[in-house]
Amino acid sequence: MNLRSFAAALAVTVALPLGAASAADLEVTHWWTSGGEAAAVAELAKAFDATGNHWVDGAIAGAGSTARPIMVSRITGGDPMAATQFNHGRQAEELVEAGLMRDLTDVATREKWKDIIKPASLLDSCTIDGKIYCAPVNIHSWQWLWLSNAAFKQAGVDVPKNWDEFVAAAPALEKAGIVPLAVGGQAWQAAGAFDVLMVAIAGKDTFQKVFGDKDEEVAAGPEIAKVFKAADDARRMSKGTNVQDWNQATNMVITGKAGGQIMGDWAQGEFQLAGQKAGTDYTCLPGLGVNEVISTGGDAFYFPLLKDEEKSKAQEVLASTLLSPATQVAFNLKKGSLPVRGDVDLAAANDCMKKGLDILAKGNVIQGTDQLLSADSQKQKEDLFSEFFANASMTPEDAQKRFTDIIASAE
């Protein structure tokens, strides 16, 4: 760890509350409620409380459907919390435009966020009209294929090293009564799997053209047709999954009832809890083993504009606490995600996490679809892919046509 930056950060966190004269209670809402997540939040709160202020926890589970209307009601109802989690990206844009959120540019400049936050795209998605409105806290990536070593052993084939080998091994798995690819029934899982296939098969540039530039010609073109072909394979391989929740699908991989699952890095926690070891019990392939690229979605905190001056000061303290190296390490180890700054050391990270860190260090990153697309387009995409994965009579060509329409109408 860079000792100097650590000392500097420490100095800031210590110095600010002295300047603020008195402590403030800040209500922070977020949707991290499961065991590991709660432990991670506790790290944030501990660090914030250490500054002399007090973190009042407002946990509300259920990101999109539940927590968000509550947060928006509170903010627009004139009774905002002091800070709230959002996926960074386009979700909070309107609240910012309506002047309800607080500009953090001062804190960000003072603490040189531009230099410390890696990859830079994270800060970009917090930036609207040149001003910074959110503090990113972690990176979650979607591009992972989790494979059950036991399942492949039972089927008598080697554990695949990439997507193509996996597809080739599917018949053997099926013969052994194993579902090759577990895809849970909730819509976001099918849509996420498709995005992962797209980066792996069509590559980073095509991904950026389709989701970043909303280029409908590319979306209708041959590269994406290949992706749909792969999605068609995935659809066939996922037949018989019969579970809803992602973790039930992961459990199928853990118990060897399924060969693999495409899921974000949070799936790792399930393997750990089940006492499985990366390499021996399960295998993780970033970028499906084809294109080692990871997306840098994740979570960020936004700070609604408050009238109370003391609380506003405390908001700055909180923002800088969230990004301090010590908090970053403690939080992300518990959360199983990657830190947003490149200058901290995650010695305790496990194998899969280290692979992720390596890729991150090499700069093989893309922005997550949450950052590139509006929630509306994301939802339409979910509708399309959940239908596609469940309905074998929908041809890849038809699906691509509808996909192109969604991209064409995206803003």
**Total site size for another protein, rule CB under 8 A:** 73
Q: How far apart are the first and last CA of the chain?
A: 41
Quick check: 249 and 241 in contact, CB under 8 A? yes
Among positions 273, 277, 308, 401, the unique one binding another protein when judged by CB under 8 A: 273
Among positions 17, 260, 264, 396, the unique one binding another protein when judged by CB under 8 A: 264
142 lies in the binding site for another protein (CB under 8 A): no
* Interface stretch with another protein, choices 117-125, 191-199, 205-213, 388-396 (CB under 8 A): 388-396
Quick check: 296 and 366 in contact, CB under 8 A? yes
Say which residues have a Cβ less than 8 Å from residue 209's Cβ, sequence separation at least 6: 215, 218
Q: Write out the two tokens for 4.
A: 């100097």
Tell me, residue by residue from 324 to 363, as one string, x for binding to another protein by CB under 8 A and - for no binding. Answer: ----------------------------------------
Tell me, residue by residue from 50 to 69, as one string, x for binding to another protein by CB under 8 A and - for no binding. Answer: -----xxxxxxxxxxxx-xx
Q: Which of residues 76-105 bind another protein (CB under 8 A)?
A: 76-79, 91-95, 98
Q: Which DSSP string do the residues of 249-281 spell out, in sequence order? A: HHHHHHTTSEEEEE--GGGHHHHHHTT--BTTT
Question: Cβ of residue 61: shortest distance to another protein, in angstroms?
Answer: 4
307 lies in the binding site for another protein (CB under 8 A): no
Dihedral-angle region of residue 203 (phi above 0 means left; psi in -120 to 50 means alpha; beta otherwise): left
Among positions 2, 23, 36, 220, the unique one binding another protein when judged by CB under 8 A: 36
Q: Which of residues 230-259 bind another protein (CB under 8 A)?
A: 242-247, 251, 254-255
301 lies in the binding site for another protein (CB under 8 A): no
* Interface stretch with another protein, choices 40-48, 155-163, 215-223, 361-369 (CB under 8 A): 40-48
Nearest to 147 by CA among 165, 171, 122: 165
45 lies in the binding site for another protein (CB under 8 A): yes
Q: Write out the two tokens for 130.
A: 């040149």
Question: Cβ of residue 120: shortest distance to another protein, in angstroms?
Answer: 25
Is residue 156 classed exposed, middle or buried when 0-12, 13-18 and 19+ CB atoms within 10 A define those classes? Answer: exposed
